[in-house]
Structure 1
Amino acid sequence: MSTPVPPSSLSSLRRQLSGFDHALRTAQQLRRATGVPHYVVHGVAPLQAFRVTMRPPAWPDRWLAMVA
């Protein structure tokens, strides 16, 4: 198992790309393109701190935003 990467050790671009704002913008773009609601959820991996998905998360505590 790999050791977790602390966010402070990431490059500024990697921090920006793995941030909530980027995930929300991505979800908004996908919603406009597909017409399907998208969700921003907490990821598990440090390099994927936030994820965008079309399915509601199985764990409600990971659900951060819904773009409908």
Structure 2
Amino acid sequence: MSASERPVPSPCVSICALDDDDICTGCQRSVAEITRWSRMDNEERRSVLALCHERAKARGLVWMLPAKP
């Protein structure tokens, strides 16, 4: 991370409960991702956020609008 780059903020929404797959129902991070977050660089954090988004879509928590023709 460069000196001028700010840290990517945590996606935590203070709804901390794990599902049967040990994924947080609030932020969609795994236990390992939550534990490691403070030691991740911004590139890794962005990768985790992308995974969280995909998990949320797979669980029907995010609705995607179709692209306009």
Bigger relative contact order, structure 1 or 2, given CA contacts below 8 A and separation 6+?
Answer: 1
Scaled by the length of structure 1, the TM-score of the pair is 0.29
Scaled by the length of structure 2, the TM-score of the pair is 0.29
Higher helix share: 1
Q: Give 1 or 2 for the bigger CA radius of gyration.
A: 2
